[in-house]
């Protein structure tokens, strides 16, 4: 039987497999991925990232804030060639890894790397995505200015999602945002995760 990743990526699977190899090799050597993560790169990292896919409209511009080794932005770009993805990452070693990865994966036409913090950006995106970036209140301060007026902020959060929404209530009010907590999964046989989706109130 094929794996969930093979079924989901279909003809794009070889690109996703090349990225997983890159994470397992250079990602570990450069200290971006813990050695113990190698055996769960597909489930915990790639499939978890593309669980966002159903929440992203066709043809969107997407910013991945605090992309690290490319998560969730690179798996999303590999699965969804209709997206224009910007990976924002201020740490030099990580942004260098991202630039090399995007080049080697042959996706420079639709993925760009910006070696900077979200705080210094003035661009505007349909979707501002993040994973493991910061507590929701702080994350909103960085991501809200980058959201297009009709756009969404999508934060992969896992089980803390509802508590974080409650804790961030005053920040959400200040930015005129309303939150929904969405159960998402990439494939019927992959692990579910929880996403906080923020749009204009």
Ligand X SMILES: C[S@@+](CC[C@H](N)C(=O)[O-])C[C@H]1O[C@@H](n2cnc3c(N)ncnc32)[C@H](O)[C@@H]1O
C-alpha to C-alpha distances, 107 to 49, 85, 113, 184, nearest whole angstrom:
17, 10, 11, 26
Please, what is the end-to-end C-alpha distance for the chain in angstroms?
45
Chain-centroid distance of CA 158 in Å reads: 13
CB closer to ligand X, 7 vs 182: 182
Selected binder of ligand X within 16, 63, 114, 133 (CB under 6 A): 133
DSSP string, 25-49: IIIHHTTSS-GGGGGGIIIIIIIHH
User: Does 79 engage in binding with ligand X (CB under 6 A)?
Assistant: no
Segment near ligand X (CB under 6 A); pick from 9-17, 125-133, 171-179, 191-199: 125-133
- Report in angstroms how near the CB of residue 32 gets to ligand X at its nearest: 8
How many residues in the shown chain lie near ligand X by CB under 6 A?
A: 18
User: Does 90 engage in binding with ligand X (CB under 6 A)?
Assistant: yes
Q: Which of residues 13-72 bind ligand X (CB under 6 A)?
A: 65-69, 71
Segment near ligand X (CB under 6 A); pick from 7-15, 126-134, 167-175, 178-186: 126-134
Selected binder of ligand X within 142, 146, 195, 198 (CB under 6 A): 142
CB closer to ligand X, 9 vs 142: 142
Residues 6+ apart with CB under 8 A from 118: 65, 66, 88, 142, 143, 146
C-alpha to C-alpha distances, 166 to 115, 144, 149, 157, 181, nearest whole angstrom:
32, 17, 23, 13, 11
- Report in angstroms how near the CB of residue 26 gets to ligand X at its nearest: 15
DSSP run (H or E) holding 128: strand 125-131
CB closer to ligand X, 118 vs 161: 118
Q: Which residues bind ligand X (CB under 6 A)?
A: 65-69, 71, 88-91, 94, 117-119, 131-133, 142
């Amino acid at each position: 039987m094929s794996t969930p990743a093979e079924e989901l990526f279909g003809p794009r699977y070889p690109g996703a497999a090349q990225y997983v190899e890159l994470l397992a090799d250079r990602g570990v050597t450069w200290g971006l991925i813990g050695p113990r993560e190698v055996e769960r790169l597909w489930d915990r990292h790639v499939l978890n990232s593309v669980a966002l896919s159903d929440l992203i409209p066709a043809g969107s511009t997407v910013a991945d804030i605090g992309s690290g080794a490319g998560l969730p932005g690179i798996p999303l770009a590999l699965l969804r060639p209709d997206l224009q993805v910007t990976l924002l990452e201020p740490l030099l070693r990580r942004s260098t890894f991202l630039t090399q990865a995007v080049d080697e994966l042959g996706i420079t036409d639709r993925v760009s790397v910006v070696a900077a913090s979200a705080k210094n950006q003035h661009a505007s995106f349909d979707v501002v995505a993040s994973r493991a970036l910061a507590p929701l209140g702080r994350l909103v301060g960085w991501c809200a200015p980058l959201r297009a007026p009709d756009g969404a902020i999508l934060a992969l959060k896992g089980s803390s999602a509802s508590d974080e929404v409650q804790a961030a209530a005053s920040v959400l009010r200040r930015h005129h945002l309303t939150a929904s907590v969405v159960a998402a999964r990439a494939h019927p046989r992959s692990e579910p995760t929880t996403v906080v989706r923020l749009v204009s109130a």
